Amino acid sequence: MIFKKLNLEYAAFDTETLPELRNMLVENCLQRKDAGPMSDLVGLQSDPSSSPEKKTNFDSEDKPVKRKKGGLRRDQSCVIRDLVTALALCHNVTPTFPNPENKNVVEYQASSPDEVALVKFAETLEMRLLDRDQN
């Protein structure tokens, strides 16, 4: 199974636009090296007594992030980073190495081919599954 297309609110990515998606992810990770999931929203607080139209926060580049139907519109690159991180981490895939001396050749074992496809997709975006443990 191959993961071929990713549809988000603002964009669709497929095999042809994979380099663009990879560049967005790498750029975001380089800019926010210490950032965790949803880090672009950490510390943002809004006054519940103000109206939704008046609620405005700012992202790391001082660009306004206005409320949309009660929620914040997040920066596209942050959403992609969090999504790919989730794809790379939230699964039951175990990497195995047929030749223990060569860690570059990896095979994935999982109960579902869908999970393997998601891990391989994350790998094409430079997020590799290196090991799996009980934690």
Q: For the residues 33-47, what does the mean pLDDT come to?
A: 68
Question: Which burial class, exposed, middle or buried, applies to 110 when counting CB atoms under 10 A from its CB (0-12, 13-18, 19+)?
Answer: middle
Residue-wise pLDDT tens digits, 67-96: 556 666 778 888 888 888 888 888 889 999
Summarised one tens digit per residue, pLDDT across range 107-123 is 999 999 999 998 988 88
> What are the backbone dihedrals phi and psi of residue 14, each rounded to the nearest 5 degrees, phi first?
-135, -165
pTM greater than the 0.75 cutoff: no
Average pLDDT, the chain: 77
Q: What is the mean pLDDT of residues 50-74?
A: 53
At how many degrees (to 10) do helices 76-89 and 18-31 cross? 100
